[in-house]
């Protein structure tokens, strides 16, 4: 029997119960993700939780870093519950206080010395990104929908090197679902050539609005996904429209230019062009100020990779110094950086998420893990 509480609502999209995905692809997932960062960009945390119905896994992570300090990470995994509103793994839980308005993230004190009690309050309406479908050898290896919300955080964080109060921090909520590679690789059949990927994701907060840009490129720089968006930033969650009217402004396209630290695939600087429907271009320059390793949330982690089966319940933790990492090691290429933003008239703050694996001609990358030329 696959029924859960949501089957009592008139929300079904297929003849199956809500807990049954519309696809039998083993890589189907449904993920909640957040970042949060101080207004000066010196402190950052990330949150992630996802269910993988056909893998039978629910996993989560919380990770935080401060400027010139170590990054600390908590990981949790369990057998996926049939009840999709059950969003807890051991000492970690996500509570949706009010959908699309307010969420609480709690990591109770435990042996790792990492804990938090944080509340996210929305300041924008949900912003739906265009469906992202990528193909390889006749198969859709990624087919996902994502929406984002910008907001503010309050609460506390404790880690092995200290603690801090989160008071009116910036943050972005990212909800995505569909299919993308997770967990252990499939085996059997003819050998497949590994896929490369180039991805940039840049949610930025300005004084009275937000901007967002999303990019997926092929190895020659060919655009698979190009999207630019601007939307109103409200003073508080009570001002965010409740009718979910789509009031954001969609650009005709977007472009990017990234400069890299020599010998790495890490952005030293970046520019993003938001090209409006009438042809006007808003150029935004980005200056990185703090680096967060996405492996702290399981992305590419050699042990706590998302979707891996560990046990009925398993938790883990680690701490590391970002300054001591090999930035060309596969697990270290995927990062978010807090960035200062400027368009020549205004200043803002946000993040630049980046991952470049495989050849990528615009940057001069010719192998899977070579770095930028000197």
Q: Is the pLDDT of residue 303 over 80?
A: yes
Q: What pLDDT score does 242 carry?
A: 85
Q: Which residues contact 30 (CB under 8 A, 6 or more apart)?
A: 50, 51, 53, 84, 177
Q: What pLDDT score does 127 carry?
A: 96
Tokens 């970690």 correspond to what residue? 92
Pick the range with the lowest mean pLDDT from 56-60, 212-216, 245-249. Answer: 245-249
Q: Which of 83, 248, 64, 236 lies closest to 164 in space, CA to CA? A: 64
What average pLDDT score do residues 115-143 get? 93
Q: What pLDDT score does 202 carry?
A: 98
Handedness of CA 9, 14, 17, 19 (dihedral sign): negative
Contact at 8 Å (CB) between 164 and 178?
A: no
What average pLDDT score do residues 175-198 get? 87
Confidence grade of residue 263 (pLDDT, cut at 50, 70, 90):
very high
Confidence grade of residue 247 (pLDDT, cut at 50, 70, 90):
confident
Q: What pLDDT score does 236 carry?
A: 94
What average pLDDT score do residues 87-98 get? 98
What average pLDDT score do residues 87-103 get? 97
Contact at 8 Å (CB) between 202 and 51?
A: no
Q: What is the separation of C-alpha 71 from the centre of its chain, rounded to a whole number of angstroms?
A: 17
What average pLDDT score do residues 355-371 get? 96
Separation CA 359–CA 168 (nearest Å): 41
Q: Is the pLDDT of residue 121 over 80?
A: yes
Q: pTM of the full predicted structure?
A: 0.96
Q: What pLDDT score does 374 carry?
A: 62
Separation CA 140–CA 1 (nearest Å): 30
Q: Is the pLDDT of residue 244 over 80?
A: no
Q: What pLDDT score does 1 carry?
A: 64
For residue 99, give Cα distances in angstroms to 16, 120, 196, 242, 291.
Answer: 24, 11, 36, 11, 30
Separation CA 238–CA 230 (nearest Å): 20
Mean pLDDT of the chain: 95
Separation CA 339–CA 350 (nearest Å): 5
What average pLDDT score do residues 222-251 get? 92
Q: What is the separation of C-alpha 27 from the centre of its chain, rounded to a whole number of angstroms?
A: 17
For residue 143, give Cα distances in angstroms to 124, 171, 242.
Answer: 25, 25, 28
Q: Per-residue b/e over 78-103, b at no fewer than 16 CB within 10 Å?
A: bebeeebeebbbbbbbbeeeeebbeb
Q: What is the DSSP string of 16-84?
A: S-TTS-S---TTEEEEEEEEEE-TTSSEEEEEEEEEETTTTEEEEEEEEEETTS-EEEEEEEEEPPSST
Contact at 8 Å (CB) between 273 and 281?
A: yes
Domain topology for 25-182+195-363: AttH-like fold (2.40.370)
Q: Is the pLDDT of residue 338 over 70?
A: yes
């Amino acid at each position: 029997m696959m029924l859960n509480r949501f089957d009592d609502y008139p929300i079904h999209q297929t003849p199956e119960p809500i807990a049954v995905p519309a696809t039998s692809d083993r890589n189907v997932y449904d993920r909640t993700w957040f970042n949060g960062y101080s207004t000066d960009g010196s402190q950052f945390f990330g949150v992630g939780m996802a269910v993988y119905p056909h893998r039978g896994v629910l996993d989560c992570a919380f990770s935080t870093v401060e400027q010139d300090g170590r990054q600390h990470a908590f990981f949790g995994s369990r057998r996926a519950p049939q009840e999709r509103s059950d969003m807890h793994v051991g000492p970690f839980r996500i509570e949706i206080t009010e959908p699309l308005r307010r969420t609480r993230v709690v990591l109770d004190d435990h042996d790792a010395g990492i804990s938090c009690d944080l509340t996210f309050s929305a300041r924008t309406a949900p912003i739906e990104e265009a469906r992202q479908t990528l193909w390889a050898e006749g198969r859709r290896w990624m087919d996902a929908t994502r929406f984002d919300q910008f907001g503010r955080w309050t609460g506390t964080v404790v880690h092995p090197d200290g603690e801090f109060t989160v008071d009116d921090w910036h943050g972005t909520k990212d909800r995505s679902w569909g299919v993308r590679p997770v967990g252990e690789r499939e085996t059997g059949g003819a050998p497949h050539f590994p896929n490369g990927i180039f991805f940039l994701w840049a949610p930025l907060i300005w004084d009275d609005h937000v901007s967002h840009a999303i990019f997926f490129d092929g190895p020659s720089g060919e655009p698979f996904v190009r999207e630019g968006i601007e939307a109103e930033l409200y003073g508080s969650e009570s001002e965010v429209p409740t009718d979910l009217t789509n009031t954001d402004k969609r650009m005709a396209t977007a472009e990017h230019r990234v400069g890299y630290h020599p010998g790495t695939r890490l952005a030293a600087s970046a520019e993003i062009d938001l090209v409006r429907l009438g042809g006007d271009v808003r150029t935004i320059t980005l200056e990185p100020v703090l680096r967060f390793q996405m492996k702290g949330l399981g992305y590419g982690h050699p042990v706590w990779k998302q979707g891996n089966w560990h046990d009925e319940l398993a938790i883990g933790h680690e701490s590391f110094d970002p300054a001591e990492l090999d930035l060309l090691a596969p697990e270290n290429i995927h990062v978010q950086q807090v960035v200062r933003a400027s368009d020549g008239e205004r200043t803002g703050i946000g993040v630049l998420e980046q991952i470049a694996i495989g050849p990528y001609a615009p940057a001069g990358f010719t192998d899977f893990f070579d770095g930028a030329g000197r």
